[in-house]
Amino acid sequence: MPTPRVFVMRHGETEWSRTGQYTGKTDIPLTARGIEQVKETGRMVVGHGKLMDPSRIVKAFISPRQRAQMTFDLFTGECEGVEIEKDTTEDLREWEYGLYEGMLTKDIRAARKERGLDRTKEWDIWVDGCEEGETPKQVSDRLDDLISQIRDIQSPHMHDDKPADILLVAHGHILRGFVRRWLGYSLDFRLLLMLEPGGVGVLTYDHRSLEEPAVLVGLGFPLKEEVS
């Protein structure tokens, strides 16, 4: 009897993710390489007896940006014969970067220092947020709203065998923030996380308890006799 899971997937490569530019509201498509990243991830992890069984996914929450929408469509193309319910939500849009849209971290820090900011420490998005963009609290609040929705879906199925897995498709900063909030940490909690373009992470609960949200740092795969 599997514990409900939440799969967090970052969109495939874009021109700006390749160069490291902050991409919030700028709506750019996947590169050719990004498309292949997503397709290959789907081939490897989606299917009966694989990491992500589409028959157990009851809902997908997707960022409205086209790079996330393209990723979802390509990724779920591997889900033959199964249609996943899709909810496009602003809760999963990327951090609103404001003045920092399209910039690199080093350039943001240099520009802030030129304006007399950050004299005692370097700028950190998780602590300082973005000028004319979102604060950590604003981001945290919308992530908490989504987490509440997910737990409402999963809570009735913590001790039965009914499908209750959730898929999220979004962006690098917002998904790393989601993991922090899933675990109950503030966004400025020093938890270094990486999520590659086209990559998938897995969240769940320890002891089948809503009070013990967890990250799966080691995955077990079904035995052959269990999926035949």
The string of pLDDT tens digits covering residues 29-48 is 999 999 999 999 999 998 88
Half-sphere exposure of residue 89: CA atoms within 13 angstroms, side-chain side: 21
Would you state the pLDDT for residue 179?
98
What per-residue confidence (pLDDT) applies to 50?
86
Supply the pLDDT for residue 78.
64
**Predicted pLDDT of residue 219:** 73
CA distance to 39, 65, 168, per residue, from 31 (Å): 13, 15, 21
The pLDDT value given to residue 77: 80
123 is in an annotated binding site: no
pLDDT of 34 reads 97
Do the beta carbons of residue 13 and residue 33 sit within 8 Å? yes
- The position carrying tokens 């809503």 is 210
Known binder of ligand: residue 67?
Answer: yes
pLDDT value, residue 81: 66
Domains observed in the chain: 6-98+124-227 (3.40.50.1240)
* Active site amino acids: 11, 94
Q: Residue 76 has what pLDDT?
A: 85
For residue 228, the one-letter residue type is S
Residue 95, annotated as binding a ligand? yes
Does the annotation list 120 as a binding residue? no
pLDDT at 83: 83
- Between the alpha carbon of residue 26 and those of residues 23, 81, 131, 164, 216, the distances in Å are 6, 34, 16, 33, 32
- HEC sequence for 1-44: CCCCCEEEEECCCCHHHHHCCCCCCCCCCCCHHHHHHHHHHHHH
CB atoms within 10 A of CB 116: 7
Residues of the chain with pLDDT under 70: 78-81, 221-228
